[in-house]
Amino acid sequence: MEKLADKLHVGDSSSSSDSDNDERPRPSAPPAEVKQPSFSDSAATAAADAKAKVFRLFGREQPIHKALGGGKPADVFLWRNRNISAGVLGGATAIWIIFELLGYHLLTFLCHGLIFSVGVLFLWSNASSFINKSPPRIPEVIIPEDLVVNIALSTRYEINRAFANLRQIALGRDIKKFLMVIAAFWLLSVLGSSCNFLTLVYIVFVVLHTVPVLYEKYEDQIDSYGEKGWVEVKKQYAVFDEKVLSKVPRGPAKDKKH
């Protein structure tokens, strides 16, 4: 009986020690360290926010490449490939010299070009059997129907949108747009009186190949001067609006659909 009592006493002491171990609070894991943003990350974020708030001409929010439509035309205007851009600009310059300086007419130029091309190909095809050379490979040119339809639809959409904008401006609901359109038409009339249509198109073409690439190179400096000029324009427009435009009667307001 004494041996049994000793065994029971030992068993109770071991079980109580186990329960004490279970009830004893375990040390908690150390708290995870919160990663604080480094100085370089904070500086980069602040620089990005400041850059986003910088004034851009015409309210532009995209890079100049995307503002020009992206793709190959934008690459040509921004001289991403110097050989292609120089070739396009050189071709436009040659066309302007031929029609403007040399006095060629478009129909005459096309006819002379076709006469020369067809004559050379005809002689080459007939002389190939005598000189033991292969005849010229003339590619078959077929204009796809989808391309013509897409161009026609795009042109129709742009013309209709222009007519709709002119109608809204003519109704007298936006004095600011009215003045801008009148100034643009007046500027075009001045340019048209000083040069012909071909020269005007060539000037626009040269501007598209020079101004965007220069603006991309000196973007910050140009935007800084543009911001100062825009502030001055807004001041002058506010004075003009107060003294003149506010006294001009406007058309009926457009009904809003709820």
Digit-coded pLDDT (tens) for 119-177: 998 888 888 777 777 878 888 888 899 989 999 999 999 999 989 988 888 887 777 78
Q: At 83, is the pLDDT very low, low, confident or very high (cuts 50, 70, 90)?
A: very high
**The predicted structure's pLDDT at residue 53:** 57
Count of other CB atoms within 10 angstroms of residue 39: 8
Range of the domain at 154: 142-194
HEC-encoded secondary structure of 181-215? HHHHHHHHHHHHHHCCHHHHHHHHHHHHHHHHHHH
**The predicted structure's pLDDT at residue 119:** 92
Task: Give yes or no for residue 34 having a pLDDT over 50.
Answer: no
Q: At 15, is the pLDDT very low, low, confident or very high (cuts 50, 70, 90)?
A: very low
What gap in Å lies between CA 168 and CA 105, rounded to an integer? 40
- Structure token digits, residue 29: 């894991």
**Domains: count for the chain:** 1
Between the ranges 110-124, 213-227, 242-256, where is the mean pLDDT highest? 110-124
- Structure token digits, residue 196: 């012909």
* pTM, entire model: 0.58
Nearest residue to 211 (alpha-carbon basis) of 71, 97, 68, 84: 68
Query: How much is the mean pLDDT over the chain?
Result: 77
Nearest residue to 96 (alpha-carbon basis) of 206, 210, 188, 213: 206
If 0-12 CB within 10 Å is exposed, 13-18 middle and 19+ buried, where does residue 221 land? exposed
Question: Does 75 fall in a domain?
Answer: no
Task: Give yes or no for residue 198 having a pLDDT over 60.
Answer: yes
Three-state DSSP at 248 gives: coil
Question: Does 38 fall in a domain?
Answer: no
Question: Does 172 fall in a domain?
Answer: yes
**The predicted structure's pLDDT at residue 42:** 54
Q: Would you say the C-alpha torsion 54, 57, 59, 61 has a positive or negative sign?
A: negative
The percent of residues in the chain predicted with pLDDT above 90, rounded, is: 17
- Judge contact between 64 and 219, C-beta under 8 A: yes
Question: Does 136 fall in a domain?
Answer: no
DSSP state of 59: G
**The predicted structure's pLDDT at residue 54:** 63
Three-state DSSP at 31 gives: coil
What gap in Å lies between CA 244 and CA 234, rounded to an integer? 15
Question: Does 168 fall in a domain?
Answer: yes
Q: How far is CA 197 from CA 96, 107, 115, 185, 188, in A?
A: 11, 16, 27, 15, 11
DSSP state of 81: S
Question: Does 147 fall in a domain?
Answer: yes
Task: Give yes or no for residue 35 having a pLDDT over 80.
Answer: no
Q: Would you say the C-alpha torsion 84, 89, 90, 95 has a positive or negative sign?
A: positive
Mean pLDDT across 97-120: 90
The percent of residues in the chain predicted with pLDDT above 70, rounded, is: 71
